[in-house]
Chain A
């Protein structure tokens, strides 16, 4: 009899969803509900064209969010990503102005971002300054450097090739319209969205399949235990901050390329959107918890909210209120679920 019950229980347990799966499904459901609501509110929302716009708009926050997720899983925070984004973008612009070809210039931009992250990691681990303060300092310094280098003026006339990354599209199909004018059949998938997918896949691979990823989780879960188990905790954290910086640099280049000019004032408060994306996606600021899939969904929830509210003609002030509300509700639901 006892054995029978044990069998029954085991079978029941196999049907129960794991915590991660439950969270994923509820988040995807949220996205779908949002899409339905906004489609009803505004017919233009559900067009292919707008879907591609959302993809484009979400790419930058998505990349920042992925970097932040790495740092948040280690139990840290990176407030500098918005400023690093601006610095990397402007450095790229200035380097192009100085005569460097576009592609190497973009690599330099990513390297500048990585360097900022490396400094963050160094200050956090070796100087033992709390991540909040360390990255707050970097946030001010990176912004200051970007403004100082450019004299606070946008760097423009960077040439056509600079805009390809941000404005180009894959599989764009243009047919012939009724009066012999070109008409867009399929607007094409924006390059930034493809880049986001590639970044998401490679970072998810790092987190799930590589020892470094496991160590990132272990460090955030119990730093002392990880150290005693032989994990190089400092090195792991430095890797997380450096990747966050590099992704902020990449996001900066994508954003500036989309705008066609490098602007030192871009990206203010982006770090908060990125943190919100990670947190909506289930990452815990206490460390040890978070997934790339969740963060991407979180980024899309924010992106769809912004876009849909815009299409519905809601003022940007009201949008702030709604998004702030969503962040709190998402975290609250997450906590309720964990307390069960």
Chain B
């Protein structure tokens, strides 16, 4: 795993982000960044503020304070459309699918393909969907059924396909493997590697320590709305990360690269 050089411009730079709901502080002065071709794992308890932070980056929520830069340029993400225009795509934990619509309609929702007369080009959308879905899951055949009648895995595949079909540069994956079986999980891991090699930056929100250590270059842990540590994956052990998640601090006597020192 290549470490991105420190002086390159980060793909995403979030500085001093704050979000509160009334008196409740959900995200407390958090800074995070993401480089091209890098996977950053985002860990923390439920309610630690990681989903909130990701919703801010995907434009679904506006922060009270803080600056977000994409490719070194300051941006304002007022709506999911703004984020999409910058190549920020999100796979939501809830999948965010319209249950009564079929797979192609969901895949292209909000950016439908149209004929020159401005009509929906359902034929082309079906064809494109068939290709991209087939790549992710060769058994995906019932494309014209409403997605409510599909299996959890198929629904997940649609959500993933929707994020990578368009010109994605920054991908936010919120628990992408939660609804998947072993073979589909392996497929997602493979996909993450492939996207990474294409220079796409990925934020991976996960509870699965195994996934995080397998796929991520860096890991960022949130606790009670604060960023309690961002580390290169080689510098920490699973126990260190668990300690960060639970206590909000590293175990006593921790030094970077302890793993190598022990071996």
A218 touches which of B79, B109, B119 (Cβ 8 Å): B109
Tell me the complex Cα distance, A153–B162, Å: 59
Binding stretch for chain B, among A163-171, A178-186, A225-233, A301-309: A225-233
The contact string, 1 if C-beta is below 8 Å from chain A, for chain B 84-127, is 10000010101111111100011001111010001110000000
Across-interface contacts of B96 in A (CB, < 8 A): 222, 224-225, 228-229
Known contacts A211-B120, A226-B109, A230-B81; 9 additional CB pairs below 8 A are: A214-B112, A215-B109, A220-B100, A224-B94, A226-B98, A226-B110, A228-B92, A230-B79, A230-B110
Across-interface contacts of B97 in A (CB, < 8 A): 222, 225
Q: Assess the B80–A228 pair: CB atoms within 8 A.
A: yes
Tell me the complex Cα distance, A289–B106, Å: 15
Tell me the complex Cα distance, A224–B100, Å: 14
Pull 20 A–B residue pairs with CB atoms less than 8 Å apart, ordered by A.
Answer: A208-B120, A209-B120, A211-B112, A211-B120, A214-B112, A215-B110, A217-B100, A217-B101, A218-B101, A221-B99, A222-B98, A225-B94, A225-B95, A225-B97, A226-B109, A226-B110, A227-B60, A229-B110, A230-B81, A231-B110
Which bucket holds chain A's interface residue count? Answer: 20 to 34
The contact string, 1 if C-beta is below 8 Å from chain B, for chain A 48-87, is 0000000000000000000000000000000000000000
Across-interface contacts of B162 in A (CB, < 8 A): 229
Tell me the complex Cα distance, A201–B113, Å: 22
Interface size on B, residues (CB 8 A): 27
Q: Assess the B101–A230 pair: CB atoms within 8 A.
A: no
Q: Which 7 A-B pairs have the closest CB atoms?
A: A230-B110, A288-B100, A221-B98, A225-B96, A229-B110, A221-B100, A229-B109
Across-interface contacts of A221 in B (CB, < 8 A): 98-101
Q: Tell me, yes or no, whether A128 is within 8 Å of chain B by CB.
A: no
Identify the B interface with A (CB < 8 A).
Answer: 58, 60, 79-81, 84, 90, 92, 94-101, 105-106, 109-112, 114, 118-120, 162
Across-interface contacts of A217 in B (CB, < 8 A): 98, 100-101, 105
Across-interface contacts of A11 in B (CB, < 8 A): none
Identify the A interface with B (CB < 8 A).
Answer: 208-211, 214-215, 217-218, 220-222, 224-231, 288-289
Tell me the complex Cα distance, A225–B80, Å: 11
Across-interface contacts of A289 in B (CB, < 8 A): 100
Across-interface contacts of A210 in B (CB, < 8 A): 118-120
Tell me the complex Cα distance, A301–B84, Å: 46
Tell me the complex Cα distance, A61–B98, Å: 30
Q: Assess the B120–A225 pair: CB atoms within 8 A.
A: no
Across-interface contacts of B112 in A (CB, < 8 A): 211, 214
Q: Assess the B84–A218 pair: CB atoms within 8 A.
A: no
Among B84, B96, B110, residue most surrounded by chain A Cβ atoms (within 10 Å): B110
